[in-house]
């Protein structure tokens, strides 16, 4: 921590001296889409001497379309503004002695009609764009994920990995926060995979990846934040779309959305449903070892499952512009999910006294209801000062019912039968209150300050009935559990931003008071006899962002943040899960939060049709929460513990190319190094400690996404990714790769389109893990679904009037603070 502080002070002092000595004029302006009258983000602005082709300065527009070029010396110049799919704008200007600012005001860009007629790419947006604090991936035109789920969408985002069980990681780190429209929306680690699998891909507009969020944002998730932004078109008029599709595994989907904007009101309604059927298969082979590491027995498991999910999603909202300065909004989001899953587990064993083979058949019926409601008010005091207020309520009801029948055969011809039926009820409830104030003053100074309160109450109850068959199953007092988890977080934050010519700085500090209450009760137990585990602590989360615009469309960014990953309900619940008698798991109520310090150095280079982003990052994490496994007799047990420290470092390269006016390539290469310190842990009731040797590993991943716009209204998309071997606690995960393809053909003047895609073309998406510890070694492999071909029809209707109002609170929250650039003058 001390070294990071010294490094920042050195960089700050050097860049400040350099920036203060830089003199020259300033060129400002705002890039506007001529048809929609909306600001155009990430337009390329370049400056060259008159009569020369060599660019001497450059920048890109911010989310409102505003841009600025600093330190321009006297002379004659040509300013060029370009966006793929639009005609390039050029303007000659002269800077004379004494001129400090030249304001180009609004620059209207028109569509390049010749290009659009050749390849018919009307409505296609750049798939990826860079903002000062995040990378934004527009996925509403994604072909490879049409008819899929949010998990499929995230699996196609650079630097994001999704395993066959639906677990999400960012740059190889699973401690990542996932939001929907800037809110948690029930996406806790307990049920995140289930919700993402239920959310249709067609409802998603874009995905924002924030690897090092500032103090303005919730610090939860040491790897960063992934924000899923649902569709909400803001153009004025009445319009919408209808969509329907099927796939080769018997799944189908349907969706519709209607948008209406007129006068002071803007409203939208989105409805969608999908049925997804999948199959999974895998195995786990375990060898039990003696003290010398020699095999003495084995337990092998073959797994097959069938899964059907049937969600319905509903989203509606309205914004009322009472005056030019006062704006009220209401948004509602609902998801009704239903599902059925059947698993077959076939065991073989030579453990003395144990079965020789056993078949376990389990079935589960799931019901999941999610609701999120938000009201907001925004007051614009001036063009540079505003206040945002919001309150939201999030509720989740998950009620799975599961049963299993296990028949085991023993040497000598005997057999046993075991039956279990389990009812689960999970009811998280969460209130959020937020206030954000922004003001700009003086020479490019900005202050942001705010409050956020999160009040979570999560209750879950498990009731179990056991017997030798369904007919004689009786209530099992020993397998009853009533678990309550309460967490209240009150936070205050402030950030200060300043730009001095080419140099920008943002300093921030967030303070959070966290109070948790955890209680796990068995049958006939009360809080009087079993008091809750309580924790009460205060933490600071500083952040610092430095940026410097180099000549010739180059930019350097250096940032530091501190973040946290708090243990969640399932990790804290000490209830012993005996669903699988050979693999028992339980939580640890004494877990502590894990904290990380992250440092990133980013370099961005823009050419006319190409963009390069290169990042170096380093992160150290204390009190790392890891799942550890150990052998207790012939049974494997697993729990969670804070073990030692981890360090990770890496480099991420993202290259975006627009080739021949018809090919858009996004290539990502991520190299990262992980180091895990050694640990020794003695589980309760165990006689031998679990020992983890210090380990380090170098891993890498690559992903290429190619979008090709062909004549005759045809679009093609191909996605390929590779993940190398990766270090995990007590072992490693093997390398894996996959390819997805998509093809779209437009009809009826692009009102109707047909999309055909293939997910997992090579049947190669699987998870292979090798682990070992005291008295055992284990190999696990699991794959889900495999190759799936889907067909989707989309019909667009209505008309748009080409005007828009200012963004509401929800949209501004999704977009973040927008960096340091100011909006151009009107």
Lowest mean pLDDT among 139-153, 294-308, 471-485, 536-550: 139-153
Q: For the residues 396-401, what does the mean pLDDT come to?
A: 92
Query: Any idea what the CATH number is for the domain that residue 217 is in?
Result: 2.40.170.20
pLDDT at 823: 27
Taking residues 240-259, report their average pLDDT: 89
Is there a contact between 600 and 672 (Cβ–Cβ < 8 Å)? no
Asked, for residue 122, whether it belongs to a domain, the answer is no
As a whole number, mean pLDDT of residues 70-87 equals: 82
3-state secondary structure of 194: helix
CB atoms within 10 A of CB 476: 17
User: What CATH number does the domain containing 56 carry?
Assistant: 2.60.40.10
CA proximity to 412, closest of 354, 348, 467: 354
* pLDDT recorded at residue 191: 66
Name the token pair of 786.
Answer: 């495999």
Task: Give yes or no: residues 167 and 87 share one domain.
Answer: no
Instruction: Provide the domain count of the chain.
Output: 2
Confidence class for position 617, pLDDT limits 50, 70, 90: very high
Q: What is the pLDDT of residues 772-817, one digit of tens each?
A: 887 889 999 999 878 999 999 989 887 654 444 444 444 444 443 3
In the block, residue with structure tokens 């929800």: 810
With respect to residue 116, please indicate whether it lies within any of the assigned structural domains.
no
Q: What is residue 658's predicted lDDT score, i.e. its pLDDT?
A: 83
Kindly report the CA angle at 384 between 382 and 389, in degrees rounded to 5?
Answer: 75
Q: Which long-range contacts (CB under 8 A, 24 or more apart) does 86-91 make?
A: 86/33, 86/110, 86/111, 86/112, 87/111, 87/112
Encode 629-644 in three state secondary structure: EEEECCEEEEEEEECC
pLDDT, averaged across the chain: 83
Look-up of token digits 């078949």 = 359
Compute the CA torsion angle 319, 322, 327, 331 (nearest 10 deg). -20
Residue 823 is assigned to a structural domain of this protein: no
**Tens digits of residue pLDDT in 583-609:** 788 888 889 999 999 999 999 887 777
Tell me if 820 is assigned to some domain: no
Distance from the first to the final alpha carbon of the chain:
45
Let me know whether 416 and 540 are in one domain.
yes
Cα separation, 142 vs 716, whole angstroms: 10
Q: Within a domain: residue 781?
A: yes
190 with 96, same domain: the answer is no
pLDDT at res. 520 = 92
Both 402 and 460 in one domain: the answer is yes
Confidence band for 568, pLDDT divided at 50, 70 and 90: confident
Verify that 793 and 651 share a domain, yes or no. yes
Beta bridge partners of 613: 604, 654
- Does residue 291 form part of some domain? yes
* Structure confidence at residue 171 as a pLDDT band (50, 70, 90): confident
Return the DSSP state at 384: T
Distance CA 268, CA 264 (A): 14
Question: Three-state DSSP class for 202?
Answer: helix
Of residues 357 and 638, more confidently modeled: 357
Low-confidence winner among 518-532, 599-613, 757-771 (lowest mean pLDDT): 599-613
* E strand map for 149-264: 160-162, 168-170, 176-180, 204-210, 224-230, 237-247, 252-262
Residue 231 lies in a domain: yes
How far CA 824 is from CA of 107, 282, 511, 561, 808, in Å, comes to: 10, 58, 34, 30, 20
pLDDT tens by residue, 331-361: 998 999 999 999 999 999 998 888 999 999 9
> Are 99 and 132 part of one and the same domain?
no
Residues 94 and 154 both lie in one domain: no
3-class DSSP state of 806: coil
Residue 24 structure tokens: 């020259």
The whole-number pLDDT of residue 143 equals 79
Shared domain for 93 and 179, answered yes or no, is: no
Residues 71 and 157 in one domain: no
Residue 195's pLDDT band, with cuts at 50, 70 and 90, is confident
Lowest mean pLDDT among 4-8, 123-127, 300-304, 474-478: 4-8
**Section 612-641 average pLDDT:** 86
Same domain assignment for residues 232 and 376: yes
Residue that finishes a domain, picked among 111, 137, 154: 111
| Residue 186: predicted pLDDT | 57
Please state, for a pLDDT cut of 90, what percent of the chain lies above it. 36
pLDDT for res 190: 60
Task: Identify the residue whose tokens are 């842990």.
Answer: 681
**635 has pLDDT over 90:** no
Distance CA 496, CA 507 (A): 5
The DSSP secondary-structure symbol of 589 reads: T
CA angle, 105 then 106 then 109, to 5°? 145
Q: Residue 744 has which token pair?
A: 């779209």
In a domain, 80, yes or no: yes
Indicate the pLDDT class of residue 173, thresholds 50, 70 and 90. Answer: confident
Say whether both 104 and 134 belong to one domain.
no
- Give the residue with greater pLDDT, 809 vs 284: 284
Measured distance CA(233)–CA(267) in Å, rounded? 10
CA dist 642 and 624 (Å) reads 5
Mean pLDDT of 190-200: 75
Examine the pLDDT at 236 and tell me if it is beyond 60.
no
Tell me the C-alpha distance between 262 and 210, whole Å.
34
pLDDT of residue 185: 61
- Please list, in sequence order, all residues whose beta carbon lies within 8 angstroms of the beta carbon of residue 460, skipping any fewer than 6 positions away: 424, 425, 426, 427, 481, 482, 483, 484, 569, 573
Range of the domain at 48: 2-111
Q: What is the DSSP string of 237-284?
A: EEEEEEEEEEETTS-EEEEEEEEEEETTEEEEEEEEEEEEEEEEEEEE
Do 662 and 749 reside in the same domain of the chain?
A: yes
């Amino acid at each position: 921590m001390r070294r990071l502080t010294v490094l920042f002070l050195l960089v700050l002092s050097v860049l400040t001296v350099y920036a203060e000595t830089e003199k020259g004029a300033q060129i400002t302006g705002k890039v506007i889409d001529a048809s929609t009258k909306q600001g155009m983000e990430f337009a390329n602005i370049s400056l060259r001497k008159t009569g020369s082709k060599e660019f001497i300065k450059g920048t890109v527009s911010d989310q409102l379309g505003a841009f600025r070029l600093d330190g321009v010396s006297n002379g004659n110049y040509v300013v060029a503004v370009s966006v793929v799919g639009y005609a390039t704008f050029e303007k000659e200007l002269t800077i004379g002695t004494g001129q400090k600012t030249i304001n180009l005001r609004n620059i209207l860009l028109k569509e390049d009609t010749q290009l659009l007629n050749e390849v018919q790419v009307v409505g296609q947006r750049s798939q990826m764009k860079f903002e000062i604090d995040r990378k934004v991936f527009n996925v509403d035109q994604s072909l490879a994920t049409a008819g899929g789920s949010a998990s499929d969408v995230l699996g196609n985002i650079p630097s994001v990995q999704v395993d066959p069980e639906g677990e999400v990681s960012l740059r190889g780190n699973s401690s990542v926060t996932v939001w929907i429209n800037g809110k948690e929306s029930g996406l806790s680690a307990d049920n995140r995979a289930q919700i993402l699998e239920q959310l249709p891909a067609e409802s998603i507009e874009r995905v924002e990846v924030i690897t090092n969020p500032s103090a303005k944002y919730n610090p939860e998730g040491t790897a960063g934040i992934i924000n899923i932004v649902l569709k909400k078109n803001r153009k004025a008029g009445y319009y919408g779309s209808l969509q329907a599709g099927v796939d080769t595994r018997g799944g189908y989907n349907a969706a519709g959305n209607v948008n209406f904007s007129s006068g002071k009101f803007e409203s939208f309604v989105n409805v969608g449903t999908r049925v997804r059927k999948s199959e999974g298969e895998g195995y786990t082979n375990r060898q039990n070892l003696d003290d010398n590491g020699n095999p003495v027995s084995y337990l092998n498991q073959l797994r097959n499952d069938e899964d059907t999910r049937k969600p319905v999603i509903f989203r509606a909202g309205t914004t009322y512009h009472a005056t030019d300065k006062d704006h009220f909004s209401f948004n509602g989001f609902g998801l009704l999910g239903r599902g059925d899953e059947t698993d077959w587990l076939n065991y073989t064993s030579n453990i003395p006294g144990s079965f020789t083979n056993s078949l376990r058949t389990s079935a589960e019926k799931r019901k999941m209801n999610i609701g999120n409601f938000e009201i907001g008010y925004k007051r614009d005091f001036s063009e540079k000062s505003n206040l945002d207020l919001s309150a939201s309520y999030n509720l989740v009801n998950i009620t799975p019912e599961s049963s299993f029948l296990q028949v085991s055969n023993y040497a000598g011809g005997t057999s046993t039968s075991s039956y279990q039926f389990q009812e689960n009820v999970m009811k998280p409830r969460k209130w959020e209150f937020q206030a954000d104030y922004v003001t700009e003053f003086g020479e490019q100074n900005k202050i942001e300050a705010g409050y956020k309160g999160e009040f979570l109450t999560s209750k879950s109850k498990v009731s179990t009935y056991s017997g030798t068959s369904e007919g004689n199953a009786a209530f099992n007092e020993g397998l009853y559990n009533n678990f309550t988890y309460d967490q209240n977080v009150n936070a205050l934050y402030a950030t200060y931003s300043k730009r001095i010519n080419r140099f920008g700085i943002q300093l921030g500090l967030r303070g959070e008071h966290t109070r948790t209450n955890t209680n796990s009760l068995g049958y006939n137990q009360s809080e009087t006899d079993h008091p809750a585990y309580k924790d009460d602590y205060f933490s600071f989360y500083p952040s610092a962002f430095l940026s410097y615009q180099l000549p010739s469309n180059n930019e350097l960014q250096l940032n530091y943040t501190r973040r946290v990953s708090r243990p969640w309900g399932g990790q804290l619940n000490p209830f012993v899960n005996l669903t699988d008698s050979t693999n028992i798991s339980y939580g640890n109520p004494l877990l502590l939060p894990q904290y990380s310090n992250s440092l990133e150095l980013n370099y961005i280079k823009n050419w006319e049709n190409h963009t390069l982003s290169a990042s170096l990052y380093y992160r150290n994490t204390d009190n790392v929460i890891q799942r550890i496994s150990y052998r207790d007799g012939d049974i494997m047990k697993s729990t969670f513990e804070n073990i030692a420290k981890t360090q990770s470092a890496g480099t991420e390269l993202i290259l975006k190319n627009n080739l021949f006016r018809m090919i858009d390539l996004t290539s990502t290469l991520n190299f990262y190094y992980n180091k895990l310190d050694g640990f020794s842990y003695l589980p309760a009731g165990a006689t031998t400690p679990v020992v983890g040797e210090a380990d380090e590993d170098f891993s890498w991943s690559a992903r290429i996404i190619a979008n090709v716009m062909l004549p005759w209204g045809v679009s093609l998309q191909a996605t390929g990714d590779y993940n190398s071997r990766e270090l995990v606690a007590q072992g490693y995960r093997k390398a894996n790769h996959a390819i997805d393809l998509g093809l779209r053909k437009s009809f009826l003047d692009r009102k109707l389109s047909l999309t055909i895609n293939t997910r997992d073309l090579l049947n190669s998406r699987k998870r292979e893990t090798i682990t070992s510890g005291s008295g055992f070694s284990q190999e696990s492999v699991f794959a889900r679904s495999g190759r799936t071909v889907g067909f989707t029809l989309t019909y667009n209707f209505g008309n748009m009037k080409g005007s828009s109002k200012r963004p509401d609170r929800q949209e501004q929250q999704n977009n973040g603070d927008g960096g340091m650039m100011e909006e151009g003058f009107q």
